[in-house]
Amino acid sequence: MTKKEAQERLPLLRSAIETYRHKYHVLNESDISEEALDSLKHELLEIEGLFPDLVTPDSPSQRVAGAPLPGFTKVTHKVAQWSFNDAFSEEDMRDFDTRVKKMLATEYGKTVIPTYTAELKIDGLKIVFEYQKGKLVTAATRGNGTVGEDVTENVKTILSVPLVLKEPIDCIVEGEAYMTKTQFEKLNQKQRSLGLEEFANPRNVTAGTIRQLDPRIVSERNLSVFVYDIARIEGTAPESQDEELARLAELGFRVNPHAKHCTSMDDVLAYWKLWHDKKDKEDYLIDGVVVKVSECEYQDTLGYTGKAPRWGIALKFPAEQVTTVVEDIAVQIGRTGVITPVAHLRPVLVYGSTVSRATLHNEDEIRRLDVRVGDTVVLQKAGDVIPDIVKVLTEFRTGKEQVFDMPTECPECGAALVRKSVGTKGQGTSAALYCTNTACPAKDRRVLYHFTSKHAFDIEHLGPKNLDLLLDAGLIDSRADIFTLQKGDLLALPRFAEKSADNLLSAIAKRRTIPLDRFIVSLSIAEVGEETARDLAKHFKTIENIRTASEEVLTTLDGVGPRVAHSLRAWFTNSHNIKVLDDLLAQVTVTDISQAGTGTRLIGKVFVLTGTLPSLEREQAKTLILSHGGKVSSAVSSKTSYVLAGENPGSKLDEAQKLGVPVVTEAEFLAMVGK
């Protein structure tokens, strides 16, 4: 980024962050997720780090978010309140560890090895409590760090807050008020029964509840509090963060039991990864881990910046929503000829992986979002879900953004693009555009990519890169050609030696026999997915029975409607496809799927898979479910029997918990099928 670009971008970032912060922290409203707001703040800090001379005193990076609401008495904090800087990756934490050790070494004149205390970062509202002679006298929100709101009467209704400590001492402590997931669901059930709008999330409800002018409403909503810090205390102060937590518990405060003493940054990162996987099992929202230098002496030495302690940092879990910039929009051609617009993005880390592209689906979706080249957008990704642009932040527009127009001709072959008729009588048109050239080379290439993929023939060592090599060298032109390759053909290609050639030929040989359902999937017939292919295979037994079946016969099969039946007949009566099929059948053997053995353990059971399983690949799990009579669905509903969840499960797990659908681990699933 040039300095001129930074000067244009920074005012937009600062204005947007202040607007969203005010809505989030003061008005308890959320136009974008907290994760997306974090992403904007992260970008601001990065640019200001590149150009320190552009940092202004009123930048959001220089002050704590929030301001007192009118209607509450203002309280000037006796101890200044800070917010932690954020970290988003292992690299960020290694940098933090290096900074801490470097500063301590400079101050002490020798190498100093601090330890850390890692605590769960509860997603709620910070409260500052003051006790005099052991009695609660004031509870205040953080506000702007200097002045907060007096919410004492409301906080007194929270049963986990002690009104009198176990010792008659003076102290100021800090904690987090929150609403449990269980209580949040009860509150929304009440809202639904009254015909009222449901609340968006527990954090917003907590903030709004604490700011209620009627304490009776607060009492009814049953909030909870964890206390995690001593800001000031009478007598001998604890010497470490671990001792602080123990002292707080002695005084009668509710302390989160999951804090961990860590002797190294490796320990901290292991704790972070552990709780990323476990966080959804707790009855409160956890959005990261707070990491503090444990030794209070070292904390005092490290001190503070203008807005945050140097001895602590908030390590966020991988965000499901971030912000980025659309740098270009291009189109790609799918195996069925569909033309899909794809946004090329400024690379951004979302949910643990760097993303630089996101599908825009079709022309209608582009118009609905009004997304343009140059726009700042909110990108969403959860677990195994494909990244999706969900919102355009139009306040970032400068007038330089470019409206994207879908092409009218195929960019690969020049053929006309059309919208297909849909409906049994062609009463509508598809949202997608299609290339009208049945021999479009780009479409043929995508067909081959799909043909060798895990969903179809599953040929190891034959992914898109090697297929491109074979196609560009003229060694293959069709699917059947793959099975005619010779070792000499491969050795003439770059990246292929004796061993790699042998490995590929061996992988191809292993796939000369294939079950009928996977064979149907490999043909790339429009409207026919894996479940429909399996239903067809079970019913018709052979490919010959399917290729000769009429539309009327096809529609008698449960799950095959007129649209699917028409697509099947159109494919099997097309002269090009007939040759493709005959050539393939001359090279491979297609077996009745019953020959693979079908169990009955999961008959009538519908599974949804989410996250990464410890040992099974997604396709292996699907095969096990199907081979035992079960079904696999892509979405959780009331008809779902089980959700099979692994690491990074995403929103499907939340939906399962909301609907009361049983969630099973890989081990529990394997027990179901007798493995």
Find the CATH number of the domain harbouring 610.
3.40.50.10190
Domain boundary among 280, 301, 316: 316
Domain count, the chain: 5
Same domain (yes/no): 50, 86:
no
3-class state of residue 168 by DSSP:
coil
Q: Are residues 218 and 356 in the same domain?
A: no
Residues 281 and 309 in one domain: yes
pLDDT score, position 2: 94
Q: Is residue 421 part of a domain?
A: no
- Choosing from 121, 381, 622, 652, the catalytic residue is 121
Q: Quick one: 191 and 300 in the same domain?
A: yes
Query: Is residue 291 a contact partner of residue 268, using CB atoms and an 8 Å limit?
Result: yes
Contact by Cβ (8 Å): 69, 149: yes
Tokens of 624: 């096990």
At position 174, the amino acid (one-letter code) is: E
- What the block records as the tokens of 461 is 């060592």
Block means of pLDDT (10 residues each) for the chain, 675 residues, are: 94 92 72 89 92 87 64 90 90 95 95 97 95 95 91 91 92 96 93 88 90 88 94 94 96 94 96 92 93 96 88 90 94 84 91 84 92 96 76 96 93 88 63 84 87 91 91 87 90 86 94 93 90 89 94 87 90 92 94 65 88 85 84 86 86 84 92 86
Q: Is 202:179 a contact under the CB 8 Å cutoff?
A: yes
CATH of the domain at 577: 1.10.150.20
Question: Does 113 share its domain with 254?
Answer: yes
Cβ contact 323:377 at 8 Å: yes
**Residue 425: per-residue pLDDT:** 53
DSSP labels, 194-216: TTPPPPS-HHHHHHHHHT-S-HH
121 as an active site residue: the answer is yes
Asked whether residue 664 is domain-assigned, the answer is yes
Our measurement of the distance from residue 512's CA atom to the centroid of its chain's CA atoms, rounded to an integer in Å, reads: 38
List the one residue out of 406, 341, 403 whose CA is nearest residue 374.
403
Give yes or no: residues 197 and 147 share one domain.
yes
Cα separation, 656 vs 499, whole angstroms: 47
pLDDT value, residue 178: 96
According to the model, what pLDDT value does residue 89 have? 87
**Residues 338, 324, 432: CA angle, nearest 5 degrees:** 15
Which residues, other chains included, contact 350 with Cβ-Cβ below 8 Å and sequence gap of 6+?
318, 319, 320, 321, 322, 379, 380, 381, 387
Report helix, strand or coil for 313.
strand
According to DSSP, the β-strands at 312-316 and 86-87 are parallel
How much is the pLDDT for 383?
Answer: 59
Q: Do 547 and 447 lie in a common domain?
A: yes
Q: What pLDDT is stored for residue 67 in this prediction?
A: 60
In this structure, is residue 41 part of a structural domain? yes
Give the Cα separation of 115 and 131 in Å (integer). 30
* Spatial distance between the Cα atoms of 529 and 539, rounded to a whole number of angstroms: 16
Rounded Cα distance between 354 and 346, Å, is 10
The whole-angstrom separation of Cα 565 and Cα 568 is 5
Give the separation between CA 14 and CA 626, rounded to whole angstroms.
53
Q: Sort residue 31 into left (φ over 0), alpha (ψ -120 to 50) or beta.
A: alpha
Helices assigned H by DSSP within 156-310 = 181-193, 202-210, 215-221, 241-251, 265-278, 296-302
Taking the C-alpha atoms of residue 381 and residue 384, their distance in angstroms, rounded to an integer, is: 8
Q: Which residues constitute the domain of residue 136?
A: 74-316
Q: What is the DSSP string of 42-77?
A: HHHHHHHHH-GGG--TTSGGGS-S--PPTTS-EEE-
The Cα-based distances of 255 to 165, 247, 474, 483, 490 in angstroms read 14, 10, 68, 65, 65
Task: Give the pLDDT of residue 70.
Answer: 67
Is residue 455 within 8 A of residue 530, CB to CB? The reply is yes
C-alpha 182/C-alpha 193 separation (Å) is: 17
pLDDT tens-digit readout, 211-228 = 888 888 888 999 999 999
Separation CA 333–CA 440 (nearest Å) = 9
Give the type of residue at 552: E
> Are 136 and 158 found together in one domain?
yes
Give CA angle at 63 (58, 67), nearest 5°: 100
Say if residue 345 is in the same domain as residue 223.
Answer: no
Residue 224 is predicted with a pLDDT of 93
Tokens of 642: 């089980």
* Buried residues in 471-481 as b, exposed as e (16+ CB within 10 A): beeebbeebbe
Per the structure block, which two tokens stand in for 191?
């809202």
Q: What is the pLDDT of residue 384?
A: 56
Asked whether residue 417 is domain-assigned, the answer is no
State which amino acid sits at residue 509.
Answer: A
Give the per-residue pLDDT at 473.
83
Residue 241 shares a structural domain with residue 286: yes
Q: Is 326 found in the same domain as 294?
A: no
pLDDT computed for residue 319 by the predictor? 77
Task: Write out pLDDT tens, residues 305-336.
Answer: 877 899 999 999 887 889 999 999 999 888 77
